[in-house]
Amino acid sequence: MELNSVENLDLPPERAAGLRRAETLARKINLLLDVIMSESGKPYDYPAIRDGAQKAGYYLSRTRWSLLKSGKEQVVPDEALRAIAAVFDVDPEYLLQEGGKLPERVEAELELIRSLRRAEVRNFAARALGPVDPEALRAIAKILDETE
């Protein structure tokens, strides 16, 4: 079952709910993997996730981790959710909520990424356009900031 496929299927309500939960969990895990860096400053890899989960009291196998990231339907023990949440320093409830507010740490990281990307685009535009008067450069920066 691939992500975002539940709506296209005619399933019993319980099965559809299980698939939606798996898809939601996978989306949240993948967002965290994209945004949050490990203590070493590098993206999390399986050994870092496994070790962090183990510190939180849960052994997370490579197979289960792969299934979680891909959104495969499975029974996920509460201990696993708490351990994964501990690794990323987020509330375990966040992992299962379809909507809701992003954790503060995730929101801060996303804002940093957006700022860095805007700066990259500004620098690229400045290099590509060559000498541009400061007022035109400010107008370009304003347009970039408004397109978030």
**Could you report the per-residue pLDDT of 19-51, keeping only the tens digit for each?**
888 888 898 898 888 888 877 778 889 999 999
Closest by Cα among 72, 29, 81, 90 to 53: 81
Q: Give the C-alpha separation, 72 to 64, whole Å.
A: 9
Closest by Cα among 78, 42, 33 to 57: 78
Q: Give the C-alpha separation, 30 to 49, whole Å.
A: 13
At residue 62 the predicted structure's pLDDT band, cuts being 50, 70 and 90, is very high
End-to-end CA distance of the chain: 32
Q: What pLDDT score was predicted for residue 2?
A: 46
User: Could you give the C-alpha distances from 38 to 8, 15, 35, 121, in angstroms and in order?
Assistant: 36, 35, 10, 26
Could you report the per-residue pLDDT of 85-138, keeping only the tens digit for each? 999 988 888 888 777 677 777 777 767 777 777 777 767 766 776 676 777 767
Q: What pLDDT score was predicted for residue 58?
A: 95
Residues pairing with 37 in the sheet: 43
pLDDT for 73 beyond 90: no
